[in-house]
Amino acid sequence: MKQTILKHQSMGVDGKFLLRSIQNDNLPALDLLVRECLQNSLDASLSENPGNKVMVDFIIKNCDCRPLNKIFEGITGKLNQHYREGNVDFIAVKDTYTTGLTGPLRECDVTDAGQFGNLRKLIYEFGQCQENIGKGGSWGIGKTVCFRVGIGIVLYYSRIRLENGSYQERLAAALVENASAPYTLMTYQKRSGTPTGICWWGSVNPDDGTSMPVTDEKEIHSVMDIFGISLYKGEETGTCIIIPYIDKNKLLKNADTAFEEHGETLESIVKLIVQRWYFPRLKNKEYSFGCWLDFRVNGMPVKQSETCRFFEEMQTLYNLSAKKIENPRFTLPDGVNSADIVLRNEFAGSSKAGIVVWKQVTAAGLDMTPPENTLAPYILINKPDEDDTAGNRAIIAYCRHAGMIIDYEVRSAWTMGIPVQPTGTYLLAFFQPNGCNTLKDEAITLDEYLRSSENADHHSWEDRNNDNKVRRIIEKIVKQIPKKIAAALSEDDGSKERNNNKGLQKILGKRFLPPRGYGRRPNGTNGSGSAGGGRASSARDILLNVSDQVFGDNYVQVRYQLSLKKGTQKAFIYFKVHTSSSAMTASEWEQYFGKPFPVTLISCTAVCGQQNIPVTLKDTSNGAAAYGAEFDLSTCSQPGRLHIEGQIRFQYHEETVSISILAQKR
């Protein structure tokens, strides 16, 4: 194939810029590749009708380097230096039941703005956005991940159906590299001008010298024979992206060290990754927003034995949430709960922004016990740091109609306030937006608003200004979700907690409180001051969640999670006692009643990440008992907001009082 080198031009791009265009260090390259390629394939489906499918084959093989090197005019010598003989590994992603790379072959044939077509958008253009409503892609730069997986070379083979009913095959290749790197495949000479690090292989348009794909089937088939990839035939259309010269070991280690340590192969990790990000569409014939995904590795479908129970449970939650959005009267099965997320004054029609559906599952229910011994959900979603022996945090997944999971939230505003589950139990949740709902005063749906809120890697939602309208839709959704789940869990556990409190009161009761109506300060106001005399902290500065009450013979033990604003040096957790008409701190109680505070703090632990935090118990004024604990956070090195967690153990000394546990900054 003939080489065409991109020359530098004003306002142009270069290889270094393209390789850095997706600034995502959170996801491994293989995850980004699977997300990008599968979304491109699903966006190009021949039919949007539910029940149809798109087939994607993820091929991991090797081929003889000698004929491969000869394909790339201009760099064959450099390739021969490094790949003289033997086989080299490659990855190919081949889709079927898709349109293929349609559109103009030549640059000069693009006459209207935005009418580049799939071919030129993918191979020759950068930043040409996906305009079709409901699609997963939008920015037009996600494809650059393909150049980061190997040595910068990518081939594109496609078969399309032309308007006259005939079929055409197309083949092209591209190289993107950092021209200023110590080693480059292309040789750059000063007299040639500023190098861009970008070139193409294919045919050359004799009229203007620009690159275009090869359409000669004989030449195309000779290249595809090198890789041993079957050609499209009959009425088949689709696209095959080939990335040669990959380093399998490097990709394996980068993908997930936990799986690499367990002796997993690149093939098995790819099967996990596609479940991680595409369980809403993978083998899911109930998917109602387009085609379902028929995914294969080296031609073989993912077996049932290779499917993780965790992702099956998440797919069930996804399907139930979609049905509940479509039909609010749909009855959820036992053990599955839901809550509507309602926003006022945001939509032209219904105020429902979406629905969150959740369930509690056991380790055995996730096949984590023998003989399966499946890894913990936090490892399956590539967040092993969240696998905490002290308890299991909720896992919330979410996506748009396109069906690619945006992210899994574990320790964030999405889950703040949801009680930590005890060892052996997991709370799984899915948020389904009411994507068809139209925004008030704007002619776009919620699904399109969410699409516009995503960055190029589609890995988060963030409110943006749309047509100079400042909205806080995502912020409001995220704020409601943990509140709804926590409130529902509290209702479920209410009777059990009241019974336990009653038993505790019988053990510790001394019955000496004054008659009903006590508990007002001498000036007649209710006791609600802050312990220690400090300024009350705002909810944005500090958030406290208490869970997992354990009632012993002579004590109560609870777990807590404390979230603090970045830079906080000291924090304080303390008790207030509730009477029939007020809530009093230790000092207010002693001052008013002249009696010992009826709660004693026995112990308190605090951990920030993996770091133990110094804790000082604070005694009441008479030194009789501790009523609070002060944390020294000056050595806490956790980035961003500080997340503290630990256990509090305390005693009641009176039967008829109830308490609150509060926190403030010092």
pLDDT at 502: 37
Q: Are the CB atoms for 19 and 148 separated by under 8 Å?
A: yes
* 22/144 Cα distance (integer angstroms): 8
* 228/219 Cα distance (integer angstroms): 15
Contacts of 618 (CB under 8 A, 6+ apart): 532, 572, 574, 626, 627, 628, 629, 630
Instruction: Say yes or no: 419 and 530 in one domain.
Output: no
Instruction: Say yes or no: 268 and 174 in one domain.
Output: yes
Instruction: Say yes or no: 554 and 473 in one domain.
Output: no
Residue 658, both tokens: 């109830």
End residue of a domain, out of 306, 324, 346: 306
Residue segments in the chain with a per-residue pLDDT below the cut of 70: 10-12, 21-25, 112-115, 127-142, 189-192, 256-263, 389, 456-458, 466-469, 492-541, 553, 579-582, 622-624, 655-657
pLDDT at 511: 27
Instruction: Say yes or no: 321 and 302 in one domain.
Output: no
pLDDT at 271: 95
pLDDT at 625: 77
- Kindly give the residue spans of alpha helices, DSSP state H, lying in 6-113: 15-19, 29-43, 65-71, 76-82
* 221/500 Cα distance (integer angstroms): 75
pLDDT at 259: 57
Give the distance from CA 94 to its chain's centroid.
25
Beta strand spans in 539-605 (E)? 542-551, 556-564, 570-578, 583-584, 599-604
Helix then strand then coil, in percent of the chain rounded to 5, is 25, 30, 45
Residue listed under structure tokens 């926190």 = 663
Question: Does 177 reside within a domain?
Answer: yes
Question: Does 493 reside within a domain?
Answer: no
User: Which of 428, 113, 407, 435 lies closest to 276 in space, CA to CA?
Assistant: 407
Instruction: Say yes or no: 320 and 299 in one domain.
Output: no
User: Which of 343, 321, 349 lies closest to 474 in space, CA to CA?
Assistant: 343
Q: Give the model confidence (pLDDT) of 130-182 as tens digits.
A: 455 555 444 445 678 888 899 999 999 999 999 999 999 999 999 999 888 88
Instruction: Say yes or no: 296 and 183 in one domain.
Output: yes
Instruction: Say yes or no: 299 and 320 in one domain.
Output: no
pLDDT at 430: 98
Residue listed under structure tokens 């807590």 = 560
Residue 258: its H or E element: helix 257-261
End residue of a domain, out of 306, 327, 346: 306
* 594/574 Cα distance (integer angstroms): 20
- Give the domain extent around 600: 509-665
pLDDT at 634: 86
pTM of the model: 0.72
Give the number of domains in the chain.
3
* 298/58 Cα distance (integer angstroms): 6
| Ramachandran assignment for 456, one of left (phi > 0), alpha (psi -120 to 50 degrees), beta (any other) | alpha
Q: Nearest-5° angle of CA 273, CA 276, CA 277?
A: 95
Instruction: Say yes or no: 420 and 388 in one domain.
Output: yes
Residue 300, both tokens: 């073989």
ω into residue 514 within 30 of 0, thus cis?
Answer: no
Q: Which contacts qualify for 305-311: CB closer than 8 Å, 24 or more apart?
A: 306/268, 306/271, 307/275, 308/272, 308/275, 308/367, 308/374, 308/380, 309/365, 309/366, 309/367, 309/372, 309/374, 310/366, 310/374, 310/377, 310/380, 310/428, 311/275, 311/276, 311/279, 311/282, 311/380
Q: Are the CB atoms for 482 and 417 separated by under 8 Å?
A: yes
pLDDT at 191: 57
Please report the DSSP string for 94-140 in residue order: EEESB--S-S-SSGGG--STT--HHHHHHHT-SS----STT-S--SS
Instruction: Say yes or no: 279 and 409 in one domain.
Output: no
Question: Does 494 reside within a domain?
Answer: no
Question: Does 495 reside within a domain?
Answer: no
Amino acid at 293: L
Residue 376, both tokens: 């913990």
Question: Does 439 reside within a domain?
Answer: yes
Q: Which 3 state secondary structure label does DSSP give 297?
A: strand
Q: Are the CB atoms for 242 and 155 separated by under 8 Å?
A: yes
End residue of a domain, out of 259, 279, 306: 306
Return the CATH number at 585: 2.60.40
Question: Does 133 reside within a domain?
Answer: yes
Instruction: Say yes or no: 458 and 569 in one domain.
Output: no
Count, residues in the chain? 666
Contacts of 219 (CB under 8 A, 6+ apart): 1, 171
Question: Does 492 reside within a domain?
Answer: no
Question: Does 490 reside within a domain?
Answer: no
Residue listed under structure tokens 């935090």 = 613
User: Which of 113, 135, 125 lies closest to 44 in space, CA to CA?
Assistant: 135
Residue 416, both tokens: 């703040």
Instruction: Say yes or no: 299 and 363 in one domain.
Output: no
Instruction: Say yes or no: 154 and 117 in one domain.
Output: yes
